Structure 1
C-alpha cells in the first residue's frame, strides 16, 4: 500500500510492522552531480537482467511501481519540473518512500570555507545560488528509505579521491558515516565499479525494491557495504586464465591468452565478479578480453594499485614460488593429455571382437 503524501516513512514502517506488507510505489531519486563522468548511468542502461526499462514499466513480477528521476532518462524538459520531486523530498514532503542513488565522489565543502562550491545540483529558490551536492545529502539523507552508491567514485571516492586531489573527495559512507542507517533501517548499499557492471547494479537495486515491498530480507552486505553475493570472490577465482597461474604459465605481453599477473594484473586480490559475469549479455570483462585487473572495485583504488602496468608486489613472489610446482604439474598433465588423446586398441575393424576387458585387480 502506498504511503499517502504527508505520512512519514517512520509511520509507514510502523504500520507495516502492524500488518502491512510493504510499499506499492517507490521513487528513485538519482543524483549524478557528484564528481563523476556519468559513466555509471550510461553503464546501467546496458543491463538486461533486469533492464531499467523493465523495472520502470512494471514488467518484473512483485516489484512496486517505480518512478525513476534520472537526468539522462527523465521525460521532463529539465529545470524546476525535473527538480520538483527532489525539492519535495528534501523538505520531508515526498509523495512516496524514495531510494536515493548517488553517482560520483563527494567533495569536501569544508575546505572551501563557504567560498564557492565543487559541484552543485539546482539553485536555492530564495537566493538563486547553486546548491552544493553536500546540501542535498544533508537534506535527503535523513528522509531516504534506502541509499545506494553507484560506482567506485560514490562508494569509496575513486579517481577523484586519489592522493594529491584538491577537492578532498570521499565516498558516500565517508560523508554520511559508516554507521548511517536510512529511514528504512538500511546501511548504505555500495555497488562499486568504474563504471558499475550493469547487471550488478540492477540486480542489487531490484533486491532493494523487493525488500521495500516486504517480499525479501535486506540485501546481505560485507564489511565494506558491498553485496556479498557479488563481491564475495576475487577476480582470480572466476578468471578464465586462472589455470595458467596454477601451472606457472605467465603472459609476457598483452597479446597472450595466459595469466597476466606478471604484466600488471591484480586479479588474485581484488573482489569482483566481472570475469564470471562478463560485461554486457555475459560477454567481455577485463581479463576475458585481455585487460589486466587494476582493482577498480576496491576501496583502495586507485592509489593502492598504481602504477597500473607494473607487476603487483605479491605477483613477483607468488609467481616464483609456484614455478617449480607449476612446471611439474604442466608436464604431468601434458603426458596424461597425450595418453587420453588416443583411442583404445580394441576399437578396430577386424574379424574378432576384443573388448579390452582385463580384471587385473583379481588374483
Structure 2
C-alpha cells in the first residue's frame, strides 16, 4: 500500500510547499522490525476515524498526499522492491518523510562478536543483515517526524522486562529524550499493547496537518504521549468508577462493579480506552470485564505484575473510602427508594387529592 504524508518546516523540501507553507506530499516509512509481534500494524487496520485507506486515498480534507510503506500493508512481493523507498531515503532522495518505528529497540552493543537481535534487509555490498539500530541511526536524523507506535516502541514493553537478554528499550531511550526531528518535533509516542487504532490515526492525522501547515505541533506530555488522549486516567472514563466511589467492589470477574480489588490499575493509568472503546467504539478492557494492566505506561509490564493481584495502594485506598462509600451508598439507597414511588395523589377516587385549588373559585 502506498501513501504520502506531509511535513511542515521553515523551508519545504522536495514534497513541495502548500498554500499554508507546509508540504503537499509526504512519505511514511514504517519499520516494524523492532522486537514486537506486528500487533500494532494489525490493530491499525481496524481504524475507522479515519481508516488507513482514507489516508492513502486522499479522502481526508486538508492533508498532504500520503505515501505509506508498511510491510504488512504493502502490495509488493517484498525484498528489494519493498526496501527501495527506505534505501532512497538513506540517499536523501525521499523527503520529507515520517519515520514510524514499531517494536522495541534491542541493544546491539551488548552482543560480543557476531550476531544481531533483529534486522531489516541486507547490506547491498556484503549481503550481511542490516540491524534495526543501523536503520534508526541513519533515518531518524533525516526524518521530518519520528513516531513510535505501540508500547514496545515507546517504552520497551514486554521485550524490555527485567531479566531480558536483549537490553531492549523504547525509541526515546535509544535516541535520547531530547531528540528533535528535522521538523523540530520530539518523538511522538503512541503507547498501547497494541495501539488503540483511533488513537494512533488521530495522532498521525494531527502530525500530517502540522506537516501541511494547518495545525500547530501536537501537544505531548512529559512522556511524549499525546496529551488529549492520555491526559486522563482509565478510572476517570470508566463506567465502573461510581462503584469505587461507593466502595462497592467486585469479588470476581463476573461482577459489573469496580475491579480494583481483583487487580485493576485503572485509577492510576493514563489511557482513554474505556471512553473510546477498542473498535468502532465497542470494547475497552474494563468495559468488557477485563482489568486494566497498565499497558500504556512506561513501567509496563514489570510495575503492574502479577496482573491478577490487588494493586499496591489498592488496599489502603479501598479501606479509606469504605466508611465514606458505605454511608453514601446507604443514603443514595434511601433516596433511590423514595424517588421510586409515585406521588400519593395519583389515585382513582372521587375526591381530588393533588392539592389543586384555583384561586379564582368562590
The normalised TM-score by structure 2 is 0.93
Runs of 4+ with >6 A deviation: 13-19
**Partner residue in 2 for 1:199:** 198
Q: Does 1:210 align with 2:206?
A: no
- 1:246-265 aligned at under 5 Å gives the runs 246-265=245-264
Task: Give secondary structure in 1 for the equivalent of 2:142.
Answer: coil
Deviations 1:88-121 (A, max 9, x none): 1122221x31111100000000001452110000
Q: C-alpha displacement at 1:14, in angstroms?
A: 12
Q: Does 1:157 align with 2:156?
A: yes
**Partner residue in 2 for 1:99:** 98
**Partner residue in 2 for 1:39:** 39
Q: Does 1:71 align with 2:75?
A: no
**Partner residue in 2 for 1:176:** 175
**Partner residue in 2 for 1:276:** 275
Task: Give secondary structure in 2 for the equivalent of 1:68.
Answer: strand
1:238/1:15 CA distance change after superposition, 3 Å: closer
Deviations 1:301-359 (A, max 9, x none): 1111111111111101111111111111111100000010111122333445444479x
- Using the TM superposition, name which of 248-257 and 109-118 deviates more: 109-118
Task: Give secondary structure in 2 for the equivalent of 1:141.
Answer: helix
The separation in 2 between residues aligned to 1:356 and 1:102, in whole angstroms, is: 72
1:356/1:90 CA distance change after superposition, 3 Å: farther
Is this contact kept in 1: 2:13–2:96, CA < 8 A?
Answer: no
Aligned length: 350
Q: C-alpha displacement at 1:78, in angstroms?
A: 1.0
Q: Does 1:54 align with 2:54?
A: yes
Q: Does 1:29 align with 2:33?
A: no
Task: Give secondary structure in 2 for the equivalent of 1:12.
Answer: coil
Deviations 1:8-42 (A, max 9, x none): x7742799999862111111100000000000000
- Using the TM superposition, name which of 170-179 and 347-356 deviates more: 347-356
Is this contact kept in 1: 2:104–2:170, CA < 8 A?
Answer: yes
Is this contact kept in 2: 1:144–1:182, CA < 8 A?
Answer: yes
Question: Which 5+ residue runs of structure 1 have no aligned equivalent?
Answer: 4-8, 359-363
Task: Give secondary structure in 2 for the equivalent of 1:148.
Answer: strand
**Partner residue in 1 for 2:118:** 119
CA RMSD of aligned residues (A): 2.0
- Using the TM superposition, name which of 11-20 and 166-175 deviates more: 11-20
**Partner residue in 1 for 2:360:** none
**Partner residue in 1 for 2:316:** 317
The normalised TM-score by structure 1 is 0.93
Task: Give secondary structure in 2 for the equivalent of 1:313.
Answer: coil
Q: C-alpha displacement at 1:124, in angstroms?
A: 0.3
The separation in 1 between residues aligned to 2:311 and 2:243, in whole angstroms, is: 17
- 1:226-237 aligned at under 5 Å gives the runs 226-237=225-236
1:17/1:128 CA distance change after superposition, 3 Å: closer
1:169/1:79 CA distance change after superposition, 3 Å: same
1:76/1:153 CA distance change after superposition, 3 Å: same
The separation in 1 between residues aligned to 2:123 and 2:196, in whole angstroms, is: 35
Is this contact kept in 1: 2:18–2:212, CA < 8 A?
Answer: no
**Partner residue in 2 for 1:341:** 340
Is this contact kept in 2: 1:13–1:184, CA < 8 A?
Answer: no
Is this contact kept in 2: 1:156–1:171, CA < 8 A?
Answer: yes
The separation in 1 between residues aligned to 2:274 and 2:352, in whole angstroms, is: 49
